[in-house]
């Protein structure tokens, strides 16, 4: 099997991550608790539910035991200890990982954007130290609250100065929406500093408790819809037409759906752009997706069936460690399965080369 690099992996933030939070919020910083029913949770003041840390760190746990209440001290150390993480990379034969948050994904839903930013700032400092243990194998993505255009530009500059390889936005914008022209300086700052903008699933309200028909498990199946909604808004709202050099990564939403999704956008553009509200786009929406959008996936076996219908240079394989949806401890086996039928060059690009080109390692 080829060299492997994970374009989407995670830390599971401990209470220590928020120890150096802005003093204004120190008494309200996230706290780690061992709950008798749920096990390890993070309580975040101002949110009406706790973050289920145990559920975010299921690597190596048999699926039939996912509901067991595991305490903080029982969670896999590689979720927060960089030395343990490097050992897992060696075990799996993975040469490096792009690192996203876990608790921070949920804090994206916090109603107070100032508090959100304080948590993100503390996390970014903690993550920088985590990645500093081996900058050639741990590539951090910093979090930005983007309370205003000016604040967003400053956050991107600071994250770039800290050595991060990209910036992650919450699924829900703090003001207007991401297709609003007021975001122009934010996009241009990201372009100018070579900081791809990342949207991870489960960071917006439309990814949680979405009304479904049928069993509750369907809510897990539709988690990708939040990112699909963002992608439609960015494309049809003209963001990529106005900022063609912007690069956006849609994270952990699979990739096999992209051809049909692109068809639906093109269909709407071709037939309805004269009769329904839409940004005046001179080109088909699919061209913007091909040029500006990346997608990560773990075990989406449908990707190998659409290799001629996507920009394969923008498809990135990932382990999602240490989440339950991840590939551990079968990462090499799964990477081989999901690239079956690809040429050696295509396989190398998806599991390693595309990430190397995007992040410059």
Q: What is the DSSP letter of 181?
A: G
Strands 39-43 and 31-35: antiparallel
Asked, for residue 27, whether it belongs to a domain, the answer is no
Asked, for residue 37, whether it belongs to a domain, the answer is no
Domain range for residue 260? 4-14+77-359
Strands (E), the chain: 4-10, 31-35, 39-43, 94-100, 138-140, 142-143, 167-169, 197-200, 248-251, 293-297, 315-317
> What is the CATH classification number for the domain harbouring 351?
3.20.20.140
Cβ(178)–Cβ(169) below 8 Å:
yes
Asked, for residue 35, whether it belongs to a domain, the answer is no
Asked, for residue 201, whether it belongs to a domain, the answer is yes
pLDDT at 1: 59
Structure-block tokens of residue 74: 């029982």
Cβ(335)–Cβ(317) below 8 Å:
yes
Query: In b/e form, how buried is each residue of 225-250, taking b as 16+ CB within 10 angstroms?
Result: ebbbebbbebbbbbbbbebeebbbbb
- How many distinct structural domains can be found in the chain? 1
Query: With a threshold of 0.85, does the pTM exceed it?
Result: yes
Asked, for residue 24, whether it belongs to a domain, the answer is no
pLDDT at 191: 98
Whole-angstrom Cα distance, residue 79 to residue 188?
33
Asked, for residue 52, whether it belongs to a domain, the answer is no
Whole-angstrom Cα distance, residue 168 to residue 251?
10
- The secondary structure of 85-132, three-state, reads HHHHHHHHCEEEEEEECCHHHHHCCCCCHHHHHHHHHHHHHHHHHHHC
**Secondary structure (3-state) at 228:** helix
Q: Please list the pLDDT of the chain residue by residue as tens digits (361 residues).
A: 579 999 999 999 999 999 999 999 999 999 999 999 999 999 999 999 999 999 999 999 999 999 999 999 999 999 999 999 999 999 999 999 999 999 999 999 999 999 999 999 999 999 999 999 999 999 999 999 999 999 999 999 999 999 999 999 999 999 999 999 999 999 999 999 999 999 999 999 988 877 889 998 999 999 999 999 999 999 999 999 999 999 999 999 999 999 999 999 999 999 999 999 988 999 999 999 999 999 999 999 999 999 999 999 999 999 999 999 999 999 999 999 999 999 999 999 999 999 999 999 8
Structure-block tokens of residue 277: 């509200």
Asked, for residue 36, whether it belongs to a domain, the answer is no
Structure-block tokens of residue 229: 């909604």
Could you tell me which of 227, 220, 273, 225 has the C-alpha nearest to residue 250? 227
Asked, for residue 59, whether it belongs to a domain, the answer is no
């Amino acid at each position: 099997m080829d060299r492997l690099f994970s374009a989407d992996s995670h830390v599971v933030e401990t209470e220590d991550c928020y120890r150096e939070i802005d003093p204004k919020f120190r008494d309200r910083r996230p706290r780690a608790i061992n709950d008798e029913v749920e096990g390890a949770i993070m309580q975040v003041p101002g949110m009406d539910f706790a973050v289920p840390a145990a559920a975010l760190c299921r690597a190596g746990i048999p699926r039939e035991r996912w509901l067991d209440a595991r305490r903080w001290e029982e969670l896999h150390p590689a979720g927060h200890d960089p030395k343990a993480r490097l050992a897992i990379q060696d075990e799996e034969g993975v040469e490096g990982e792009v690192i996203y948050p876990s608790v921070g994904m949920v804090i994206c839903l916090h109603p107070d954007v100032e508090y959100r930013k304080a948590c993100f700032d503390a996390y970014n400092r903690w993550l920088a130290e985590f990645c500093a243990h081996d900058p050639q194998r741990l590539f951090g993505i910093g979090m930005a609250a983007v309370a205003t255009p000016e604040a967003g530009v400053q956050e991107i500059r600071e994250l770039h100065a800290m050595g991060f390889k990209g910036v992650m936005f919450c699924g829900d914008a703090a003001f207007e929406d991401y297709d609003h022209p007021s975001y122009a300086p934010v996009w241009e700052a990201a372009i100018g500093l070579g900081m791809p903008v990342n949207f991870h699933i489960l960071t917006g309200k439309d990814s949680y408790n979405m009304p479904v028909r049928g069993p509750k498990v369907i809510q897990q199946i539709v988690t990708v819809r939040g990112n699909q909604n963002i992608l439609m808004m960015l494309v049809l709202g003209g963001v990529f037409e106005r900022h063609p050099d912007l690069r956006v990564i849609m994270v952990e939403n699979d990739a096999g759906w992209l051809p049909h999704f692109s068809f639906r956008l093109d269909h709407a553009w071709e037939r309805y752009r004269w009769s329904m509200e839409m940004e005046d786009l001179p080109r088909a929406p699919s061209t913007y997706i091909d040029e500006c959008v990346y997608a990560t996936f773990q075990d989406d076996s449908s990707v190998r069936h659409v290799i001629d219908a996507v920009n394969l240079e923008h498809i990135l394989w990932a382990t999602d460690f240490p989440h339950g949806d991840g590939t551990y401890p079968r990462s090499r086996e799964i990477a081989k399965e999901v690239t079956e039928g690809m040429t050696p060059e295509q396989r190398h690009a998806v599991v390693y080369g595309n990430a190397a080109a995007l992040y410059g390692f």
